[in-house]
Amino acid sequence: MNSVLDRREFLKASMATGTVLLFGGGTLDSIFAQTKPRFVELDKLTITIVTDNYYERNSPDNAVAKRFRSTLDKSIHAEHGLSYYVETISGGQASSFMFDYGVDAQSVMRNMEILGINLEKIDGFGLSHGHWDHWGALVSILKANQRKIPRNTPFYVGEGAFSERFSVRSGSEPMRIPTLSRKDIASLGVLRIVEVTNTIEVMKGGYFTGRIERVTDYETIPYSLIKRGDKLEPDQFMDEQALFFIVKAKGLVILVGCAHPGIVNTVKHVQKITGVQKVHAVVGGFHLVVSKPETVQKTVSDIKAISPDYVVPTHCTGFEPIILFQKEMPKQFILNTAGTKYVF
């Protein structure tokens, strides 16, 4: 429930019942951010991988994956980062959304140029979580496109996106990692920050999960810390968001950044809140790169049991887990490459 029409209906209903209240913009945004949406089925969904850890020019296309073929003057950049550009069509209405932003601003923006990504008509921006390899290029992208991006465009984030985080290495003190600055975003005067805790429609037919329920007993969170007030506490990534869609006659498509809450937990959560059991595709970083072998095996087994039509592990999934997905799910597995466009 995140469209202008929905807001008008809300205000109209309030006036009809004599319960109109005066809200500041942030308060009204908060109400709509926490209202459960009506799920829309899509006629078409396109996900473009702006950047990822890997690029291979000669990887084949298939029914849903169309590769970008680099040339001498147009070469795709890959990095330890992740960025998506998403387009939806439902009932003739088109919508676009940028989800995560990679690290190297110059290279990410060059990829955007090569891939034909234009932010003039973008409906929203979103961030999966507050780690630097997902937001590093964001401020530079916004500065370079200030005149193109419509003013007051929403920027959807989990409630801990701007919190200080620390990595923990065995035998050493917690090390602070780069933190996304709310001030840097707000000072540009382009985006309107919307903090999310519950499921919300962030683009036409595209939804943030809200807090992801933990149901497996093996998808544990890698030990790191987050600052809450003046205290450091274990980071449970309660703020991490996945983006999901329902494609007409196909089922769910679930797009994740790092899946710290667990990729199986994420899929099951989306199935529960939508009531849709059929999974068409699971795409994104599954954060298995530092997991124990038994955790990787259980994850692959559970995703295999869910039986998606396509599984596309990216970014932080890790080389060995990717190989295991390919071995266990050869017909569903797609090797992701930066610049690939998925059309569902």
Set out the domains of the chain in order of their start, with CATH numbers: 1-35 (no CATH), 38-343 (3.60.15.10)
Instruction: Please give the model's pTM, rounded to 2 decimal places.
Output: 0.89
Checking if the pLDDT of 29 tops 90, the result is no
Is there a contact between 288 and 264 (Cβ–Cβ < 8 Å)? no
- Average pLDDT (189-197) is 96
Interval 108-149: pLDDT, tens: 999 999 999 999 999 999 999 999 999 999 999 999 999 999
Supply the mean pLDDT for the chain: 90
- Average pLDDT (228-251) is 94
pLDDT of residue 7: 42
pLDDT of residue 303: 98
Place of tokens 């089922």: 251
Interval 274-312: pLDDT, tens: 999 999 999 999 999 989 999 999 999 999 999 999 999
